[in-house]
Amino acid sequence: MRFFAAISICLLMTFVSCDTPKASGENPFLTEWNTPYGVPPFDRIRPEHFMPAFERGMSLHDAEIDAIVSNNDEPTFENVILAYDNAGAMLAQTALIFEMLCAAENTPQMQALQEEVMPLLSAHADKIRLDERLFAKVKAVYDRRATLDLDAEQSRLLKKTYDGFVRSGALLDAAGKERLKQINEELSVTSVKFGNNILAENNGYVLLLEASQLDGLPNSAREPAREKAQALGEKNKYAFTLHKPSLLPFLTYSSKRELREELYKAYLNRCNNDDEYDNKALIGDFIRLRTEKAHLLGYPSYAAYVIADQMAATPAAAYDLLEQIWTPALESAKRELEEMEPLFKKDYPDGEFAPWDWWYYAEKVRKQKYALDEEMLRPYFSLENVQGGIFFLANRLYGITFRPIVVPVYHPEASAYEVLDADESHLGVLYFDYHPRDGKSQGAWCGNYVEQTYDADGRRIAPVVSIVCNFTRPTRNEPALLTLDETETLFHEFGHALHFLFHDVKYRGLSEVEGDFVELPSQIMENWAFEPEVLRQYAVHYRTGEVITPYLIEKMRRSELFNQGFMTTELIAASLSDLDIHSLAEYEPFDPMEFERRALTEKRGLIPQIEPRYHYPYFSHIFDGGYSAGYYFYTWAEVLDKDAFEAFRESKDLFNRKIADDFRRKLLARGGSEDGMSLYRAFRGQDPDKRAMLRSRGLWNEPEEEDETAAEAAN
């Protein structure tokens, strides 16, 4: 995440009520930090510190902008573009911490702050981007760019700065600018409400069961549910929630079909219950406002506006990729359904296979077809060992090491590591926060608390990075044992972390990459997760110390395409529904659920046994998570990541240090210093090839080479 499904946590030790003795004292945002490694002083930060910090940050930012505008010297790269890039540092730092904590620690006090702060920040950003005097100076430099003798990075920063102003409405007339400000303010409020509603729904549902209702569930699912019930004050009961570590094992193993249906429908119907947390009206507000914004800025749809700034460039290019995958993926899913139907009919001769049956019968097929189930694998994937595995991989590829450190943390469950480069110099700090809590959003993401940059004296400011997940908790009898999906997720988020840690970007304005490029550094790490050479380093039975056997590794290899039709179909369905709703050329009131049904079922033939990965009312990525018209990013980046990994395969060395060093220097370290495709070509020496991605999902078979003798005979 970066992105970033949000998650929810209980009250942090740093977030105490205002009337405690610790709440007094200096505001840490208004003083210099004297913390180890430059981490935020989490032990001193209170919710009441944020508003004064935001007010001070906006005031300083205004003064810095005024200094640029008031300068009577001829506009230059240094006194306009560089000065603008350096402005607002305090505000940006405060906003980073606030946004990260709102995802990982969204208390009622923080929620109230969000609703108050986000419109203020939106208005502040618009005031600057729509300042005619400031834009005139930016444009003056841009218009003379050919005569300025700028280097490549300076030219890139100038172009990105100018384009950023134009995309933010700098060319609009006065009336257009005023309306754009109103739209942006409304969108900021709508986003906060949408996310808070999902958080409330996630935390508000519990399926409370008796021991007699747990048929089929392994102890790895029962024990966390028992402990959750105890935490809720329910003795001798078992509590299942909508968080994935609770939901998915229940859907996979519970033989009580009616209970699987109850839990899954509760998950599917979040924020779609015509109550105070219903998000359907907010979805209408999003589309109405975003469509109007796109039209104001000269685009036919919001999707066209968003994607114009991405690698894909047009919605048509994104659709083309998704639709190439959709048909073969759906056909593959239908074949998977055919394999499950006999097992289902044996249990329910007159029944109809439903979405809440898929995980349960897919697991039966896996056992039958591959003699493999996740319960026999999980003891090899303790969280501690998987974390050790990613540390091992990073060391083999890049020579970096990780040292546990004692620093302020935002929650007692968070841990921190200093990251040391190959020459043992300080590279950055990495926090981990692994388990679900109330107040933490669902999903997993990676982000910065401190961004890499350079100070006025040219010294590198090291990043402070955080990986946040919602993984299976340890119980009193067992450590946290991860599923294969959770294991892959940790490798994924660690890839984002490496991207942040390796950043070596001179200008703040060149830090970000295109959205459909950002998942490349994360997704490429997934390719190593289950390679035998890597598994043998970290997949160790937590009780016996036995390294995973070649027999189990071979079973995993043979089953690597298992259920890929289903997983690809639900992913592409969500990507298409995102593009569809943001490609509307005109807004008229509509029922989002009916719109989604027509787009996926009527238009594209999605079978009723599969639900899209996200329905609109809880599709956080596209409504409050930064991926609007961009859920296709994962698939676009998968083309890149699978092709990039081919470089290692072709070298016959999955730990090839030269290739890894190239990947770091030419791609990970560069941020947005060049456009994503240029960075990719510099690393790979060619355009990406889709075939590696299609093969990995079982959607491409290499054509057999024609036998030379047969070919000669045919001629």
Q: Rounded CA gap, 443 and 445, in Å? A: 7
Would you state the torsion angle of the CA atoms of residues 227, 229, 232, 235, taken in this order, to the nearest 10 degrees? Answer: -100
How is residue 599 annotated by DSSP?
A: I
Strands, E, within 398-522: which ranges? 401-404, 415-420, 426-433, 445-450, 453-454, 460-461, 464-468
702 is catalytic: no
How many CB atoms are located within 10 Å of the residue 473 CB?
Answer: 21
Q: Rounded CA gap, 521 and 523, in Å? A: 6
**378 CB burial (10 A radius; 0-12, 13-18, 19+):** buried
User: Closest by alpha carbon to 203, among 231, 223, 236, 226?
Assistant: 231
Q: Rounded CA gap, 39 and 13, in Å? A: 17
User: One of 486, 493, 611, 674 is an active-site residue; which one?
Assistant: 493
388 Cβ contact partners less than 8 Å away, ≥ 6 residues apart: 537, 538
Q: Between vectors from CA 84 to CA 81 and to CA 89, what angle results, nearest 5°?
A: 140
Q: Which helix (H) or strand (E) holds 201?
A: helix 174-204
Q: Rounded CA gap, 506 and 17, in Å? A: 40
How far does Cα 164 stand from its chain's mean position?
23
Rg (CA), the chain: 26
Q: Are strands 426-433 and 464-468 parallel, antiparallel or unpaired?
A: parallel
How many CB atoms are located within 10 Å of the residue 491 CB?
Answer: 22
How many CB atoms are located within 10 Å of the residue 613 CB?
Answer: 17
55 Cβ contact partners less than 8 Å away, ≥ 6 residues apart: none
How many CB atoms are located within 10 Å of the residue 52 CB?
Answer: 13
Coil/strand/helix, residue 245: helix
Q: Between vectors from CA 104 to CA 101 and to CA 107, what angle results, nearest 5°?
A: 75
Output the DSSP codes for 18-38: TTSGGG-S--GGGS----GGG
Token representation of residue 27: 């505001």
Q: Rounded CA gap, 328 and 321, in Å? A: 12
How many CB atoms are located within 10 Å of the residue 187 CB?
Answer: 21
CA distances to 41, 48, 52, 92 from 36, in Å: 9, 24, 24, 21
Output the DSSP codes for 441-471: BSS-EEEEEE--EE-TTSPEEPPEEEEE--P
Query: Which own/partner contact pairs does 341-350 have at CB distance under 8 Å and 24+ positions apart?
Result: 343/368, 347/257, 348/257
Q: Any idea which residues carry the catalytic annotation?
A: 493
